[in-house]
Amino acid sequence: MKFSKSCLMAVSAFYAFAGTAWSAQVCNLVLNRCPSAFPGTITVPENVIWLDPIVPVCSDTVQVVTGNTSPPPSIVFIIDNSGSMSSGNDGDAVNNGWNDPTEARFRVVKTLLDTIYKASPKAEVGMVIFTRRLSFDHRDNPFFKPAFPADTSQHDSFVPLTPLDKPFGGGVLGIDTLKALLTYSGHGNLKYATAQANSRPSSNGLDPKNVRDGTDITLGFDGAKEAMKDSKAAKGDQYFIFLSDGEPSGVDTPRNSVMYDFEKGVGAATTFTVFFKANTSDPTPPDRIKNMTEAIKTNGYSTSNPKSAAFAISLPGSQLLALLQSNVLNPIFANTNAKPASAVLDVGGTKYNSTSVDAKVFTFPKRVPLSPAQTAVNLTYTFQYTDSGQIKTSTRNYTLNLNRTGSAPLADGLSTSCQEQGNITLFNKGNPITVVTADHNDLDVHLTLGSGEVCNGCKVEVKPNKSADKETVALTPASGFQTGNFGRETSNTVAVGDGKLQHLPTDSIIVIYVNPDNSLDVIRKAFPYSDVSTVLVVLRHNTFSQGGDLVPPKPGEHFVLVTPGSISPTPEDKAKNWIILPNLATEKDSVRYVGDVIQASRAFKVEIVIFTNLGQFVNKIAFTVPPAEFSKLAKSAKGNTRQLKVLWDNMSADGTKAGTGGYILKTTVTLLKIPGVAEDEAVSTDYRRVGVLRGR
């Protein structure tokens, strides 16, 4: 292993960045309200990576049949089909500003008929479709009924009240007939509209066969009142549903005097009006519609007339159905509270069924992972209710799009439940490490998960930050954590998947855990590598010394440290008793000393005690070479260690010369700990006999 040129000088830097972790706090998104309370798109912070498994229930009511003792309701649709709703004369009504360019007045009524049929199959439904004349003519088919049966000169006709479940033969029911009569082609041109000529003169000189221009609202209500005369329901169960885009205009000449009679509300059943006004931010109904509604509320026709209401919409294609279902059908039909029974949560095609429900929440088996950017969450709630003595079910669908972005604030009704992800630690021989060194060839990974987290078949990926190797380490449960093992070595040769990580001395070692249930739940920890190993060698310098009298020693210079002159070891005694020489100039200089050559891989402290053969104390040297001084020592031949000669100048502690004879050197060298890099204190103790030959 090669010693990085600057690694010992940068030990503190390694330590500062040791065990850098990328784990963080992660959160569940908690819904505190029914999903319908939120807009379709919700923005959440990026640390929100789960949807909480507890989701609020929604209060709901369903329309129910009241039973055989009460007749079903009678409903007459009064539908404006004038040119301003959608043009029948050009090819691009959508782009010409018409108020119902997608024909919602026909499409949505078809859908609404299905809803009514489901709630009350025997409900009676009629239709009056008007412009300046009614769209059907009894002369075409006796099924249509005249609006003015006493006046044979007028032939305006309507679709009479028809039970939705009435059989017409060949499997065709009343609901099928009504839907067929709403079939249109082109822009609002009804397939079964009459081709008969109008029997009244037009005030605008229109073609007598024109059935699209003009708006005679009073004519529409005249037909509806005539249709309602055949109702089998009590007056309190009779309703008009009026769909229009505006004021009367272009009525036939004989009807000019009654143009505004509808505003008086005389003889009208409970009426729900939807006013169409596309491309406006304020689609309020005209004053005449408001006046009509107030008049109908108080006309005394029935006890339900005060329910009458007028609504306005600017996007009929998307708003009409929801408005009619919630604000019109609910008041018409009997309602009962539905009890939440179960729920299904669908995210990306993966479905989760609720495991329990109470009055407030559905509980799913586990939290649901979110996608990196946008997650479409589809919730289907199933409710139970009792209808005519039978237990029935209904469903409601809710869709939320969750966008993870930055640190966006949460909308009202949302909160988060957060916790720390967990931690990854490395161990060598049972000891935790924050920096991997050359001594750490066998490493254990400990993965500690966040509170309540579980992981079956856990694994982590181990890789260098630059080199190509990559190892997968399987983890097994231990006491409070998951653990696994891998080997490592510094090498240019990579063998991916061999269980041993090969890397270069310049690499950090990265350990990554990815939650198998959520790719956004990642714990990443980087461990710097230091090519420091534990090496300590004590070599001998001469077995005996000669010529100790050649140069008289100076007082206090009992030992010689052969090393660069810039080094400044720290004495262990109060005063140092050595001198520093950069080298020994001649061989004669060398032979006058005995001592040790210390080779070490990191900073150390040394103590040499000299005794006589009889065990009497003679002298002692003790000092420390800290990391900053260690880096100044000369490299040894091994390259990854540095060395220092500690030589005795044959002096006793009291300053007298040691006599000829044998002596014992006890040398103890201890490698210093480097926190997080080298936690072991390697110690070497050496005993040796030496001789001193005084004078010649």
Instruction: Report residue 604's pLDDT band, with 50, 70 and 90 as the boundaries.
Output: very high
Q: Which two tokens stand for residue 14?
A: 């390694």
Q: Are residues 139 and 278 in the same domain?
A: yes
As a whole number of angstroms, the distance between CA 625 and CA 630 comes to 6
- Tell me the average pLDDT across 94-115: 82
Q: Between 422 and 588, whose confidence is greater?
A: 422
As a whole number of angstroms, the distance between CA 191 and CA 200 comes to 23
Q: Are residues 521 and 476 in the same domain?
A: yes
Q: Are residues 126 and 260 in the same domain?
A: yes
> What does the pLDDT read at residue 696?
54
Amino acid present at 498:
D
> What does the pLDDT read at residue 439?
81
The residue among 530, 558, 587 that closes a domain is 530
Query: Is 372 within a domain?
Result: yes
As a whole number of angstroms, the distance between CA 407 and CA 393 comes to 41
H or E stretch covering 117: helix 104-119
Q: Are residues 96 and 198 in the same domain?
A: yes
Q: Please check the confidence at residue 70 and state whether its pLDDT lies above 70.
A: no
> What does the pLDDT read at residue 547?
62
- Tell me the average pLDDT across 102-121: 90
Instruction: Report residue 33's pLDDT band, with 50, 70 and 90 as the boundaries.
Output: very high
- Helix count (H) and strand count (E) of the chain? 9, 50
Q: Are residues 287 and 425 in the same domain?
A: no
Contact of 441 with 488, CB cutoff 8 Å: yes
- The count of domains in the chain is 4
Q: Are residues 481 and 517 in the same domain?
A: yes
**Buried b vs exposed e over 108-141: b needs ≥16 C-beta within 10 Å?**
bbeebbeebbebbbbbbbbbbbbbbbbbbbbeee
> What does the pLDDT read at residue 388?
59
Q: Please check the confidence at residue 408 and state whether its pLDDT lies above 80.
A: no
Q: Which two tokens stand for residue 567?
A: 């080094």
Amino acid present at 655:
G
- Give, in order, the Cα–Cα distances in Å from 468 to each of 461, 501, 524: 13, 10, 18
* pLDDT, tens only, 240-266: 999 998 789 999 999 999 999 999 999
Tell me what percent of the residues of the chain surpass a pLDDT of 70. 90
> What does the pLDDT read at residue 417?
93
Amino acid present at 302:
S
* pLDDT, tens only, 475-521: 999 998 999 999 999 888 899 999 999 999 899 999 999 999 999 99
Tell me what percent of the residues of the chain surpass a pLDDT of 90. 62
Neighbouring CB atoms inside 10 A of 617's CB total: 11
Query: Is 67 within a domain?
Result: no
- Domain that includes residue 121, residue range: 75-307
**pTM, two decimal places:** 0.52
- Cβ-proximal residues to 477 (8 Å cutoff; 6+ apart), any chain: none
Q: Are residues 124 and 238 in the same domain?
A: yes
> What does the pLDDT read at residue 91?
41
* pLDDT, tens only, 201-223: 998 889 999 999 999 999 999 99
Query: Is 69 within a domain?
Result: no
Q: Please check the confidence at residue 322 and state whether its pLDDT lies above 90.
A: no
Which is nearest to 316 in space by CA: 242, 248, 247, 245? 245
H or E stretch covering 17: helix 11-17
* pLDDT, tens only, 170-180: 999 999 999 99
- Strand segments (E) across 196-289: 238-244, 270-276
Q: Please check the confidence at residue 79 and state whether its pLDDT lies above 90.
A: yes
Any idea what the CATH number is for the domain that residue 356 is in? 2.60.40
